[in-house]
Amino acid sequence: MADIMNLLGICRKAGKLTLGMDEVKGTVHSGKAYIVLVTKDLAERSKSEISRVCEEHGTPIYEIPESMYDVGAALGKVYGIMSVTDAGFAKATVKRLTS
């Protein structure tokens, strides 16, 4: 799934990727998040918390097959929760995750 990590790297460089629980919750609350992504090894408590916020605001949430450390290697910092704040990047990410 290096394809997903490459896309998220481009998304981050474009300033359209938000990282971390508090920041992602902020984008969901403000309606700026098109999708939320969580890593496969994110703690259940954190998954539950962000899932609840996404459900309240109708924001789709997807689990990516990478670990937090894979994200860290690709993006420079270890994160388990991300949001995509651009419609085009969100559509491309979902397409890669579901195909």
Give residue-wise pLDDT tens across range 4-24. Answer: 999 999 999 999 999 999 999
Per-residue model confidence as pLDDT tens digits over 30-39? 999 999 999 9
Mean pLDDT on 70-82: 92
Q: Is there a contact between 89 and 35 (Cβ–Cβ < 8 Å)? A: no
State the number of CA atoms in the 13 A half-sphere of 17 facing the CB: 23
State percent of the chain over pLDDT 70. Answer: 98
How many Å apart are CA 55 and CA 77, to the nearest integer?
27
Element (H, E) at 17: strand 17-19
DSSP one-letter code for 14: T
Q: In terms of residues, how long is the chain? A: 99
pTM for the whole thing? 0.94
Strand arrangement of the beta sheet that strand 35-39 belongs to: 17-19, 81-84, 35-39, 61-64
